[in-house]
């Protein structure tokens, strides 16, 4: 009898495309964000083929030119095509944003789950160390790291990753604490499974929802932090095209005569972060309706 009841109410199993379509229909703003993110990813990865000019080639015959059909977004003070630099800048932003968010997120995930799983002294020590690291504002910590290792793409990634780890581990830990007391974790331990197996196979998959939301917001934060560091001259260095770097120096100097140099890279940063945030908000609503802001 009970078998029939179960047969009558099968669990909704949706394919990837079905759930994507559902997401798009329910979350129009999130879809808009997703589109922005996809556009950014595609331009970043295909920069070689779609950018009209070489982003680092100076053209002294065409300095600070206003947007035209030749240079859709104009040129900067060295005659470099802004459109091409923004397209390549998307790649830099993506590399820095994704790497720091993913590495910082995963390190935080493992540390957070381990902290909750082991409890006791381990938990206490990890939590106190997180407290200390979190007392450093993100950009301040990043500046301190850059001051030690010097600027450059790799060091910027490191500088942004480190402060993200405790922020992630804190959130993951609190979700993992509830999971730790679940009977299936006790069952796994009773079966004699090792710590690594229990953490990775039984606990980690169950904290994926808050983790994904967290990592999405990290990408946006990382892109903003990278832009700020590069703008200060302490991040990505010339001639690598980066949005923050494009706003440095020339942009302010020529702001009144050639405002496009200052405006377009900022719009690019804003759209990228906006897209990621909108998508992240929608993802949160879709994955965890309890967290929804009404």
Partner 1 sequence: MYQYIIKRVLLTIPTLFGAAALVFLLMRLIPGDICLVRLGGGGASFDPKALIACHAEIGVDRPVIVQFLEFIWGLCRFDFGTSMWSGKPVATEILARLPISLEIALLATTVAVSIAIPLGAISALKQNTWIDVFVRIFAIGGIATPSFWLGIVSVLLVLDVTGWATGTPWMPPIDYVPIWKDPIRNLSMAILPAITVGYRYAAVSMRMTRSAMLEVMREDYIRTARAKGLINKIIINRHALKNALLPVVTLIGIEFAFLIGGLVVTEQVFNLNGVGRLFVQAVQNQDYTLTQALVMLTVAIFVFTNLVVDLLYGWLDPRIRFA
Which residues are at the interface with partner 1 (CB under 8 A)? Answer: 128-129, 131-133, 135-140, 143-149, 220, 224, 227-228, 231-234, 244, 247, 251-252, 255-256, 259, 262-263, 265-266, 269-271, 273-274, 277-278, 293-294
Nearest of 286, 288, 293 to residue 30 by alpha carbon:
286
Residue given tokens 């804003």 in the structure block:
270
Residues with Cβ within 8 Å of residue 290, at least 6 apart in sequence: none
CB of 138 or CB of 185, closer to partner 1? 138
Q: Please, what is the minimum distance in Å from the beta carbon of residue 244 to partner 1?
A: 8
* Sign for the pseudo-dihedral over CA of 128, 234, 42, 220: positive
CB of 41 or CB of 139, closer to partner 1? 139
CB of 208 or CB of 232, closer to partner 1? 232
Q: Please, what is the minimum distance in Å from the beta carbon of residue 4 to partner 1?
A: 39
Q: Please, what is the minimum distance in Å from the beta carbon of residue 129 to partner 1?
A: 7
* CA gap 32, 81 in Å, rounded: 28
* CA gap 85, 210 in Å, rounded: 35
Q: Please, what is the minimum distance in Å from the beta carbon of residue 196 to partner 1?
A: 29
What interhelical angle do 16-26 and 259-287 show, nearest 10?
110
Q: Please, what is the minimum distance in Å from the beta carbon of residue 252 to partner 1?
A: 6
Q: What angle do CA 281, 291, 94 make, to 5 degrees?
A: 30
Q: Please, what is the minimum distance in Å from the beta carbon of residue 259 to partner 1?
A: 6
CB of 83 or CB of 93, closer to partner 1? 93
* CA gap 53, 57 in Å, rounded: 8
Token pair in block for residue 172: 């993951």
CB of 118 or CB of 136, closer to partner 1? 136
- Residue 79: exposure state from Cβ atoms within 10 A (0-12, 13-18, ≥19): middle
CB of 185 or CB of 285, closer to partner 1? 285
């Amino acid at each position: 009898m009970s078998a029939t009841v179960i047969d009558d109410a099968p669990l909704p199993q949706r394919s990837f495309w079905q759930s994507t379509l559902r997401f798009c229909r329910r979350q129009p703003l999130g879809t808009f964000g997703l589109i922005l993110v996809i556009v950014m990813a595609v331009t970043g990865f295909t920069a070689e083929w779609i950018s009209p000019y070489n982003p680092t080639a100076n053209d002294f015959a065409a300095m600070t030119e206003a947007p035209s059909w030749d240079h859709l977004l104009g040129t900067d003070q060295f005659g470099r095509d802004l459109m091409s630099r923004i397209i390549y800048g998307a790649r830099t932003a993506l590399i820095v944003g994704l790497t720091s968010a993913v590495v910082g997120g995963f390190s935080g995930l493992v540390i957070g789950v381990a902290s909750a799983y082991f409890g006791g002294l381990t938990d206490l020590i990890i939590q106190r160390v997180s407290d200390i690291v979190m007392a450093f504002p993100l950009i301040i910590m990043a500046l301190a790291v850059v001051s030690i290792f010097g600027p450059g793409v790799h060091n910027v990634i490191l500088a942004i990753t480190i402060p993200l780890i405790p922020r992630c581990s804190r959130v993951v830990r609190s979700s993992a604490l509830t999971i730790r007391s679940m009977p299936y974790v006790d069952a796994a331990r009773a079966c004699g499974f090792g710590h690594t197996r229990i953490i990775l196979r039984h606990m980690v998959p169950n904290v994926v929802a808050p983790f994904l939301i967290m990592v999405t917001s990290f990408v946006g934060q990382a892109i903003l932090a990278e832009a700020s560091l590069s703008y200060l001259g302490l991040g990505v260095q010339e001639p690598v095209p980066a949005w923050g770097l494009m706003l440095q120096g020339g942009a302010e100097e020529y702001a009144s005569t050639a405002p496009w140099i200052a405006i377009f890279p900022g719009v690019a940063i804003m759209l990228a972060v906006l897209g990621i945030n909108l998508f992240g908000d929608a993802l949160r609503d879709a994955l965890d309706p309890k967290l929804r802001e009404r």
